[in-house]
Amino acid sequence: IYPRAGKSWSSRAETDYHFTWWGGNLRGVRDHPVNLGAGNSQLVYSPHDYGPLVFQQPWFQGDWNRTTLERDVWDPNWLHLHKENTAPLLIGEWGGFLDNGPNQKWMTALRDLIAENRIHQTFWCLNPNSGDTGGLLLNDWATWDEAKYALLKPALWQSGGKFVGLDHQVRLGGAGSTTGISLTDLYGGGDPGGDTRAPTVPAALTAPAKTSTSVSLSWTPSTDDTGVTGYDVHRGTTRVGTSTTASYTDTGLTAGTAYTYTVRARDAAGNVSAASVPLQVSTADDTGGGTLLSRGKNAWASSTEAGDNPDRAVDGNPSTRWGSAFQDNQWINVDLGASRTVSRVVLDWEAAYARGYRVQVSNDPGFSTWTDLYATTTGDGGTDTLTVNGTGRYVRVLGQSRATPYGISLYEFRVYGG
């Protein structure tokens, strides 16, 4: 745990601290890392992560998917440790029931993240009497849950079609195993255990076409000693898709917004290249709703949580955000610089969104008089594209009621007009 903004370590009030849930929240490591002195090389961070059948966390409300989980939960909570090479990361617990629904959707998303990033992990659990997750064994304590094992298998450490054990000499499954290898087999001094050479890095990444909501990418194909099987396309730090050819189209983007892409090649053994040279691409402006008026303008808010300042909601970066205190009736204002006609407002909500909110406009420099452009009590998060009609220098989003126990938070607050 660590103190909230403006609070000190001497406080004895629980509400003055950010705290963990089941060890899943490691956000504080960025500013308050554990320091073991000379023993710091031995430090491993180990989050636990569970799905909606264990607890209906706020990020499981509304239309969530792997992209929103990685962006809103895993990246800020613990994945940053792996991506920024802060320290070794071991997902100490994850697992659950296969419900052919939201819990299985979450398990599949986390399984893919673990496999693609080669993150160390231990699955919860083997025994079947774990009440809220079940296990890899069925209730007879002898038979595998084949469906759950099939879901887990891609996240197990494999090379050349064999499973890698943690002993340097003894193969997984014993000395005579035909399905497992040891670390010596993998890294040298014995049977190498199959293909360990990564494909070449994809080159000449370009964007030959783009619209207001999509970017088409192409690159020079990679080569490999046994053959390239596909490519992973990343937007920022998030994998947005795969392709078996040297091209990909990313859709569902925001008009007039800059995105950064990289591509990695993958072979049949799961070896992944180093990333391509990053390519930054801006989508076309959507002139149907007028000119983007709010980008880079002065913005301020009723409150700010954990350094997520209001200017981050108008910076054009879809990965930064403004976040408020954990209270209702929080607002963010943007100064357009002069009185302008406002025809459209786009709100890209973070997982902590407003259920009830108003979009308002004003020419009052004292900010005491506001005119509603839009109001709702049934907001559902995601992206709200609002066609409005009004005139003013100042545009405000007033979040009257929260949809989650957290504050309200916007990745982007875009105002269009003339």
Q: Contact, 348 vs 254, CB < 8 A?
A: yes
pLDDT score of 400 more than 50? yes
pLDDT score of 158 more than 70? yes
Place of tokens 């710091």: 40
Q: What is the pLDDT of residue 314?
A: 94
Task: State the span(s) of the chain assigned CATH 2.60.40.10.
Answer: 203-284
Q: What is the pLDDT of residue 325?
A: 93
Q: What is the pLDDT of residue 329?
A: 96
Q: What percent of the chain has pLDDT over 90?
A: 55
Length of the chain: 418
pLDDT score of 114 more than 80? yes
Q: What is the pLDDT of residue 261?
A: 94
SS (H, E, C) 268-310: CCCCECCCCCCEEEECCCCHHHCEECCCCCCEEECCCCCCCCH
346-393: per-residue pLDDT in tens?
999 998 999 999 999 999 999 999 999 999 999 998 889 899 999 999
Q: Contact, 413 vs 324, CB < 8 A?
A: no
DSSP 153: G
Question: Of the ranges 57-61, 159-163, 206-210, which one carries the lowest mean pLDDT score?
Answer: 159-163
> Of the segments 19-23, 191-195, 304-308, 312-316, which one has the largest average pLDDT value?
312-316
Q: What is the pLDDT of residue 76?
A: 87
CA distance 242 to 230: 7
pLDDT score of 269 more than 80? no
Q: Contact, 270 vs 397, CB < 8 A?
A: no
Q: Contact, 218 vs 246, CB < 8 A?
A: yes
pLDDT band at 190 (very low <50, low <70, confident <90, very high): very low
Integer-rounded Cα Rg, in Å, for the chain is 24
In terms of DSSP bridges, do strands 238-243 and 228-235 run parallel, antiparallel, or are they unpaired?
A: antiparallel
Report how far apart the first and last C-alpha atoms of the chain are (Å, whole number): 47
Task: State the span(s) of the chain assigned CATH 2.60.120.260.
Answer: 289-417
Q: Contact, 71 vs 109, CB < 8 A?
A: no
Burial class (CB in 10 A: 0-12, 13-18, 19+), 157: middle
Average predicted confidence (pLDDT) for the chain:
89
pLDDT band at 191 (very low <50, low <70, confident <90, very high): very low
List the CATH code of the domain at 289-417: 2.60.120.260
Q: Contact, 30 vs 80, CB < 8 A?
A: yes
Query: Within its chain, how far is the Cα of 163 from the centroid?
Result: 29
Task: State the span(s) of the chain assigned CATH 3.20.20.80.
Answer: 2-159
245 backbone dihedrals φ, ψ, rounded to 5° = -120, 175
Partners of residue 203 on adjacent β-strands: 220
Question: How would DSSP label each residue in 178-241?
Answer: SSEE-HHHHHSSS---S--PPPPPPEEEEEEEE-SS-EEEEEEPP--SS-EEEEEEEETTEEEE
CATH superfamily of 203-284: Immunoglobulins (2.60.40.10)
pLDDT score of 412 more than 90? yes
Element (H, E) at 158: strand 158-159
CATH superfamily of 2-159: Glycosidases (3.20.20.80)
Query: Within its chain, how far is the Cα of 138 from the centroid?
Result: 33
pLDDT score of 193 more than 60? no
219-246: per-residue pLDDT in tens?
999 998 767 888 999 998 788 888 888 9
Place of tokens 């409300």: 61
pLDDT band at 263 (very low <50, low <70, confident <90, very high): very high
In terms of DSSP bridges, do strands 215-220 and 203-210 run parallel, antiparallel, or are they unpaired?
A: antiparallel
Q: What is the pLDDT of residue 195?
A: 65
Q: What is the pLDDT of residue 286?
A: 66
pLDDT band at 134 (very low <50, low <70, confident <90, very high): very high
Q: Contact, 17 vs 4, CB < 8 A?
A: yes
Q: What is the pLDDT of residue 276?
A: 94
293-338: per-residue pLDDT in tens?
999 999 999 999 878 899 999 998 887 899 999 999 999 999 999 9
Q: What is the pLDDT of residue 32?
A: 85
